[in-house]
Structure 1
Amino acid sequence: MPDVRSKALGYLRDGRVTLLTVNTAKHSLRPYAVGAMVQGFQGRYWVRLNAQGWLCSCALAECAHAAAVQLVTGWPSAASKDAKAAEVMA
């Protein structure tokens, strides 16, 4: 079974991530609110970032859908290269 990084990168490579809304404060590198749709292998998943944090309709703790959207929007994620390197080093 592929890891979170491989799945997230696959969603991006295959054009399965659609950003619907992205709200960014002036001079900020990362948005404070995001609404996205990810066409997964088992269905369509809704990912959002709001004041409570990142949420995905799949409700998995290790979510590749949210990780893909986080990569696109500049947020650290389980799919970030640094996170993967830290796993290998541990």
Structure 2
Amino acid sequence: MADVRTKALSYLRDEKVRILGANWSKPDLRPYRVSALVKGFHGLYWVRLNADGWLCSCGTRDCAHLAAVQMVTGYPSQASKPTPEMAVSA
């Protein structure tokens, strides 16, 4: 089974991520509310960001659907490329 980063990048590369709506306030670079659909390997999944945080309808903890949407919207995710600082602290 592929890791979260590989799967998330695959969803993005294959154009399987659709952002349905996003709300933000100036001068923030990231939205505070997101609604998206991701066509996964086993179905269609809703991904949302609201006041309670991120949620994916697949219900898994290590979620590539969520990671793909986070990457598109500028949030750090499990699929984010490791930085040199992350390597030093590990």
TM-score (norm 2): 0.92
CA–CA separation in structure 2 for the residues paired with 1:27 and 1:86: 27
Percent identity, aligned pairs only, is 61
Amino acid at match of 2:55: L
Unaligned runs of 5+ in 2: none
TM-score (norm 1): 0.92
CA–CA separation in structure 2 for the residues paired with 1:10 and 1:33: 24
1:38 and 2:38 matched: yes
Aligned residue pairs, count? 88
3-state SS in 1 of match to 2:6: helix
Q: Whose helix proportion is higher, 1 or 2? A: 1
Runs of 4+ in 1 over 6 A off after TM superposition: none
- Post-superposition Cα deviations, 1:11-50, rounded to whole Å, max 9, x if no partner, equal 0000000000000111111000000000000000000000
Unaligned runs of 5+ in 1: none
